[in-house]
Chain A
Amino acid sequence: MSEVATRDYADPAFRAQLVSGVDRTPGAGKPDPILVVDSVVRHFGGMTAVDVDHLEVQRGIITALIGPNGAGKTTFFNLVTGFDRPSQGAHWSFDGKTLDKTSASAVAQAGMVRTFQLTKALNRMTVMDNMMLGATEQSGENLLKSIFKPLWHGQEREIEERAKDLLDRFKLLPKKDDYAGSLSGGQRKLLEMARALMTSPKMIMLDEPMAGVNPALTQSLLGHIQSLRDEGTTVLFVEHDMHMVRHISDWVVVMAEGRVIAEGPADSVMSDQGVIDAYLGAHHDMDLGDDSLLEDDAVKDMAAEVAQEDAEGNA
């Protein structure tokens, strides 16, 4: 994008300008996509959980991936991050690199790091150890070098400093020597996010960052996500809560029944009749922003996912 003079992603006007020229149709091309996905399909038994024809994610902004339960958002996440395999040949590239058949770890190494819907904090390790594991290219993780402390001690100190900074930012520093299992659910979400940031990702993918977080923490979590964006990290997140989506996202992608059905800025998407139908068709009398509902839904979501796996007889 040569016509853009400064790339200040913290500036709302800049971001608005960035997406202003984009078509509001599913699969629309972006001015500077960091992630491009083509024909990602996943079947579970006879069901098609994900069938995304084409999707581009714009660099430097917050993109929300929304949709009713069972829309395939988490499965889509799993596919793109290498935690699940597409049923047939798919193509996606990240930051110019092709990642069609790579493993989950290679995807993370390329700079696309995710968190999980059910938080995967390492409960029986300390908060600090959790953080330290996030750092990449540690020479001490090489088996042969590991027994000689001088070979990794210096780097270890640097990583520790960086970890402390991040923990401080996420207000977890006083807990650094506690076992992660002793943290509250929301704190574990924060820890997982901070740990992901230890890898210095180009793009962070958050799978329902707000699920199970108490309302007091929600606001600070939102703030953290926004400040990540302001520092130049691309954010893609899955969320149920429309209020939150409206609040922080620059671009919204809507999935239903495995497909992308709409794209656009939050306001325009939420007034889209197709989107409303997709949601209301699924939950006619429900308030989409209700937290207790969310938890209930998450359980149902899991049950549905398990049922899908069970139905998968061959694969």
Chain B
Amino acid sequence: MSVTEDLTTGSEKDEAQRESRNKLLYAGGGLVAFLVALAVLSHLPGTVGQISASMLRVAIQPQTAALVIAVIGLNIHFGYTGLLNMGQAGFMMLGAYGFSIAIWKGQPMVVGVLAGFAAAFVFALLLGIPTLKLRGDYLAIVTISAAEILRYTGRLAKLEDFTGAAQGIPGSQYRGPFSNLSFLGDGQWTFPGTKLTYYLTGTDDWWTRLVAWGLVALCSYLVFLLARSPWGRLLRGIREDEDAIRSLGKNVFAVKMQALVIGGLFGALGGIIFILPASMQPDAMGRNLTFFAWTALLLGGAATVFGPVLGSILFFSVRIFLQGVTNAVVPNSVMNTQQTEQFAWICIGVMLMLIVIFRPQGLVGDKRELRFNV
């Protein structure tokens, strides 16, 4: 993956295309090799096997897929348009609430999904109108605040009959219609050659994994289509210099709003998937989830189609790796089990800082395009 610094050669377009195709192949191949290696290592006895097995489990869990989709949305916001959305968890929460509450209250699943999308849509409009004409920081401050307002509101004891308050809504109240769609049948199934064994259809099952990763593929393709279109070009132009785009007669505010809404809808979809294998808990979608999404995006590479997938999978498995290794290496007298978990998070925080400082383009981003500066 050599990034040519020389920008003056003539036939660079083909070269750039080939280069990006190669990059995608390398990254995709690398990811597959990584997963295969984990699957192989998980058969080893002892700690190495255990850590590899849990890394692999985490890499393909539905929550990872959910984060990927939320990160894809964030990528539209930040990667392509340069919008500093610090409240992606709020969009996720709205999707999740809309979905779970509607089904809990006896509505069909379609209504649930639409309710989640509608909530995220309205949220995006409400946040966008006061802020999209202002400097970027304002959007950041308002989105992070609004996402927290949502969480406080969802937790309100007075709303227990509606949102389940702080305990949230148990998965059994809304998972039924989704599980009923499964054509995989019952019983357990083990992915050949791995230690991944789950029910085909059940609480935390292959069906959810299949749908979740299927949606990841679909969303990624959609973003690919959007990014190569003139609309995507417009987004990148706005990211570079709003005033220049305005001077060309484009309605910058409207386009930014479209980007905010679209990214928010991806967030809502991510939220729905996030709660499918577990339960709807407002505290699981707090500020830190947004920050994890940012870390995953920047790790993978903003303004790329494959970056969110790569970044999210690595984000989760690296954390498990750090925690597992620390647990195994550091004696309990120095760090107890809880502390190793926190240690892993500390490393994640430091990692986020280091990526931004030393490799802002992430693993697969284009260095020339992504020395971002909003």
Contacts and interface: CB of A to CB of B under 8 A. Distances in A.
Are A and B subunits of one complex? yes
Interface of A: 81, 83, 103-109, 113-116, 120-126, 129, 132-134, 136, 138, 140-143, 146-147, 149, 152, 156, 174-175, 177-179, 181-182, 192, 195-196, 198-199
B251 interface: yes
A147 B224 CA distance: 9
Contacts of A136: 248-249
B149 interface: no
Contacts, number: 118
Given A129-B236, A177-B16, A178-B8, A134 B230 contact: no
Interface of B: 7-8, 10-13, 16, 222, 225-226, 229-234, 236-237, 240-241, 243-252, 255, 258, 262, 368-371
Given A105-B250, A108-B248, A124-B371, A116 B243 contact: yes
The 8 A-B pairs with the shortest beta carbon distances in the complex, nearest first, are A140-B230, A108-B249, A146-B229, A146-B231, A120-B244, A182-B7, A122-B240, A177-B13
A120 B241 contact: yes
Contacts of A147: 222, 225-226, 229
A133 B233 contact: yes
B226 A146 contact: yes
Q: Is the interface of B mostly helix, strand, loop or mixed?
A: helix
B129 to A, nearest CB: 15
A146 B234 CA distance: 11
21 contacts: A104-B243, A105-B252, A113-B249, A114-B247, A115-B247, A120-B244, A122-B240, A125-B233, A129-B237, A133-B233, A133-B234, A133-B248, A140-B230, A143-B258, A146-B229, A146-B231, A146-B232, A149-B229, A177-B13, A196-B247, A196-B248
A124 B369 contact: yes
Given A115-B247, A147-B222, 4 more contacts: A108-B248, A109-B249, A125-B233, A174-B10
A174 to B, nearest CB: 6
A120 B236 contact: no
A280 B250 CA distance: 42
A303 B7 CA distance: 33
Contacts of A81: 247
Given A105-B250, A177-B16, A124 B243 contact: no
B231 A124 contact: no
Contacts of B7: 178-179, 181-182
A143 B262 contact: yes
Contacts of B12: 177-178
